Amino acid sequence: MTHTQKSGAGLLKGFVWLLFAAAVVLIPGEVLAQKISINVASKPLSEVFRQIKQASGYQVFYANQNVDDRRVVTFRATNADLRDVLDRLCEAAGLSYRIVDHTIVVSVARNAAQASAPAATPSPAPRFTVSGYVLDDNKRPVPYASVVQKGATHNGVSTDE
C-alpha cells in the first residue's frame, strides 16, 4: 500500500467516525426537536396532554393525585419544538417534566408544591402502596420504567434510576 493509499484510508476511517459521532449526538436531539402544534381554548389540562401525545407520539404520564388535569387552560403553540411547548406549559401550570425514552413524566414543580401546601397540613396518604422491582429478562433493574394501573388513565409511578 502506498503512502497516498494509507492516508486516503485514514481519511475515510476518520470520516466514518465523524459520521458516527454526529449520529450519536444529533439523532436524540432531533427526536426532541420535532415541531408540534397545539391549540386548546378553555379546556382541561388533560386535553393539552392528549394533543401533545397525538402530535408527538410520546406518552404523557402523571399521577392524578399530584397533577390537577381538570384545571382549565388556554394554550397555543404553532410549529414549536416539543421541549419549548413543555417548558411553556409546565411553567404556566406550576409543573415540571422529564423525558424518559418516549414518555413525558409530568409532576408538580417543587417550588409550586411547597407554595401551595400549608406547612401544618400533611399531604393525604395514598389509598394503597405498591412496591417491588421492574427487571429485564436478565434480572437487571430497568431504570425509569413506567408502571401504570391497568384500566386507569393516569394512575401509576415511574421507577428510580
Q: Of 57-61, 74-78, 114-118, 150-154, which range is least confident? A: 114-118
Query: SS3 breakdown of the chain: % helix, strand, coil, rounded to 5?
Result: 40, 25, 35
Cell of 124: 393525604
The Cα 43–Cα 41 span in angstroms is 6
pLDDT class of 105 with cuts at 50, 70, 90:
very high
Cell of 139: 434480572
Tens digits of per-residue pLDDT, 37-91?
A: 999 899 999 999 999 999 999 999 988 778 888 889 898 999 999 999 999 999 9
Tens digits of per-residue pLDDT, 13-24?
A: 654 454 444 444
Would you call 94 helix, strand, or coil by DSSP? coil
CA 159 centroid distance within chain: 14
The Cα 64–Cα 68 span in angstroms is 6
pLDDT class of 151 with cuts at 50, 70, 90:
low
Q: Please state the pTM of the whole predicted model.
A: 0.54
Would you call 75 helix, strand, or coil by DSSP? strand
Residue 127 is predicted with a pLDDT of 61
Q: At what angle do helices 45-56 and 82-93 cross, to 10 degrees?
A: 170
Give bridge partners of residue 38 from the DSSP assignment: 77
The Cα 89–Cα 2 span in angstroms is 61
